[in-house]
A = this chain, B = another copy of it.
């Protein structure tokens, strides 16, 4: 039985706590959050206790930590956890600054611990099935990847201001998909972008619509298009063209009802946003983390994956800001 501390009692922390409760080899002991009411509510629901950072790292019985707090706390918590020899699950990104993220990766490596990054999309049933079929050779050699990744709506401006920008906040998931699906690294990155959804986003120094092209070291091509607003809901699709076919991952819908009237034949909108769309992925991800800690599986989303996705996000940001193609 692994005793676990959770940093962050917000939406994603709550989800992870719920999934943790379904593992056979773990139990939630502490919840840490500056929002005391939130920490109390979540710890009460799981027979855990509210604690401070110091209490967590001072308690030798804690075997693992889940870092689901604000982005600017990730690096400190990783470093502290590594120093204390705790196993780590951390939400993306490692840090907004690459140098600091690298320090974390180094500390993790030195400590010899697991630091799994929350790229939950790899654990989505549709995406994982596509990947498995790709690896099995169903469409030959992958040559091209097209990713469509659109949110139902933009987050509040204050959030955006501390988010590191759309490439680090939103596309970091798509960059991870790129690396995972093509099993290749970027050579050239070009990002174009615009502020089309809300001029307040532009005023905050960010953009809301992007078009990224990556050419890999082996010459494969990847295009990513994103928007902060898809009126029809959360649009999460990608397709891989291979030498002998194509694999496409489509959106998930809540029901299989089809309505035909004198106007049109209609189906459901996609599941609304990431909490709904990736519900199974979050559950699988947590199961994987504890399977790793139990020595049954090898960690699939390492801190190095987090670092590489961050480097791509940084390159894309530079490409957009400086209007040039960035060589990795």
Chain A contacts to B: CB under 8 angstroms: 125-126, 129-130, 133, 138-140, 143-144, 146, 148, 150, 188, 190, 192-197, 209-211, 213, 215, 219-223, 225, 227, 229-233, 235, 241-252, 254-269, 323-325
Q: Which residue of B lies closest to A237 (CB)?
A: B256
Contact A241-B150, Cβ < 8 Å, known A211-B222, A211-B223, A262-B231: yes
Contact of B219 with A195 in the complex, beta carbons under 8 Å: yes
Copies in the complex: 4
A38 to chain B, nearest CB (A): 20
Contact of A245 with B221 in the complex, beta carbons under 8 Å: no
How many angstroms between the C-alpha atoms of A115 and B287 in the bound complex? 38
How many angstroms between the C-alpha atoms of A125 and B222 in the bound complex? 30
How many angstroms between the C-alpha atoms of A140 and B88 in the bound complex? 45
Contact of B261 with A138 in the complex, beta carbons under 8 Å: yes
Contact A188-B192, Cβ < 8 Å, known A254-B129, A258-B247, A260-B232: yes
- Scoring A126, A192, A194, A229 by chain B CB atoms within 10 A of each residue's CB, the highest score goes to A192
Question: A225: which B residues are within 8 A, CB to CB?
Answer: 144, 146, 221, 223, 241
Please pick, from B188, B196, B213, B220, the residue contacting A196 in the complex, using a CB distance under 8 A.
Answer: B220
Contact A143-B325, Cβ < 8 Å, known A133-B259, A231-B244, A256-B250: no
Question: A133: which B residues are within 8 A, CB to CB?
Answer: 257, 259
Contact A241-B227, Cβ < 8 Å, known A246-B232, A246-B260: yes
How many angstroms between the C-alpha atoms of A277 and B143 in the bound complex? 24
Contact of B232 with A265 in the complex, beta carbons under 8 Å: yes
Given A146-B148, A232-B246, A263-B266, 19 more pairs with CB closer than 8 A: A126-B256, A139-B231, A143-B196, A144-B196, A192-B213, A192-B215, A197-B243, A211-B223, A231-B243, A232-B265, A233-B262, A248-B258, A249-B255, A252-B256, A264-B267, A265-B267, A265-B269, A266-B267, A324-B325
Contact of A209 with B144 in the complex, beta carbons under 8 Å: yes
Q: Which residue of B lies closest to A195 (CB)?
A: B219
Contact of B125 with A254 in the complex, beta carbons under 8 Å: yes
A273 to chain B, nearest CB (A): 14
Question: A221: which B residues are within 8 A, CB to CB?
Answer: 192-194, 209-211, 225
A68 to chain B, nearest CB (A): 23
Question: A196: which B residues are within 8 A, CB to CB?
Answer: 143-144, 219-220, 243
Question: A251: which B residues are within 8 A, CB to CB?
Answer: 256
A227 to chain B, nearest CB (A): 6
Q: Which residue of B lies closest to A202 (CB)?
A: B219
Please pick, from B194, B243, B248, B261, the residue contacting A245 in the complex, using a CB distance under 8 A.
Answer: B261
Question: A249: which B residues are within 8 A, CB to CB?
Answer: 255-257
Please pick, from B192, B242, B246, B268, the residue contacting A264 in the complex, using a CB distance under 8 A.
Answer: B268
How many angstroms between the C-alpha atoms of A22 and B114 in the bound complex? 31
Contact of B126 with A257 in the complex, beta carbons under 8 Å: yes
Contact of B139 with A259 in the complex, beta carbons under 8 Å: yes
Contact A231-B261, Cβ < 8 Å, known A211-B223, A256-B250: yes
